[in-house]
Structure formats: structure tokens, C-alpha cells
Amino acid sequence: MVTGNQGVTLTPRMNWILGYAEAVARERGHAEAGADHLQLAVLRDPVAVPTQVLGRLGGDRERLAELVSAALGAAGYRMSADRFAMLRAAGDIASEFGHDHIGVEHLQLAILRLPDCAAVRELAAAGLSADTFAAELAAAIRAYA
């Protein structure tokens, strides 16, 4: 799949994340997948770079996934950003790194920039700063380059 970001393509794992997020949105009766659905999908992938970094920082991936899932089911849930906005933001981040693909790590960095995202709020409640997570994830991305 190609996004609107100058021919930047999605990695196979990123395609899986999108499919999972869309399934979660349908399951919850939501019209579309947004940042929180995408975050839940990332958290459900134990081998993704963001979940590996989260674990190194002491974050509990499974507990965070439970909290995000609960937020998605809460009465009055409001989506913070739709999947297209998230893909554009992730594509911009990928370009900043000089990458010609959008990976889960780029998506995670885009999500961490949304202070009204349930996942970012839950991270903060668990004592993990979104800024610290983003810095460590960016360092991991650079280490792979």
C-alpha cells in the first residue's frame, strides 16, 4: 500500500497493524479506526520495535493494552485522530528519518505526539513519559539505520 506521502510504502507489519485496528474499530461499533485503535494493535504485537522499547523502559505492554481497550469501550469515547491523519503523520516522521517506508515505529512516534490519545494518558498514569518513550524509540530507530 502506498500512502499520500510521496510514494512512501507501508511495511508488512504496518499493514497488519492497520488491519487489526480496523477489526477492533468494527468490533467496538466505531465508524473508523483511530489513534487508540492503532495503539492497541501496536501493543498486541509483542515483537514490534515500540513494544520492545516500552518493555525496556519498564512498561507493561499487556496492562497498557487492557487500559487502552477499556478506554475504547468507555461511554462517550471520542477518537483523537483518524487513521489517515495518523498515516500522514507517520509518513512525515519516516521522511524525517530518511526512510522510504512507514513502519510501526513511525506510527508509534506519531501517536506519542497526541496528548489527548488514551494511550498517551495511560502511559503518563503508569509513570512513563511520552517524551522519554519517544526519545528512546527514536534512538532505537537510528540504531537500526
Whether pLDDT at 2 is above 50:
no
Residue 4 lies in a domain: no
Q: Provide the whole-model pTM.
A: 0.91
Average pLDDT over residues 120-136: 92
Give the residue carrying C-alpha cell 469501550: 73
Average pLDDT over residues 14-37: 94
Q: How far is CA 138 from the centre of its chain?
A: 14
CATH code at 114? 1.10.1780.10
Residue 1 lies in a domain: no
Give the structural domain span for 109. 9-144
Residue 29 lies in a domain: yes
The number of domains in the chain is 1
Residue 3 lies in a domain: no
The band of 126, judged by pLDDT with boundaries at 50, 70 and 90, is confident
Whether pLDDT at 10 is above 80:
yes
Residue 92 lies in a domain: yes
The band of 1, judged by pLDDT with boundaries at 50, 70 and 90, is very low
Residue 30 lies in a domain: yes
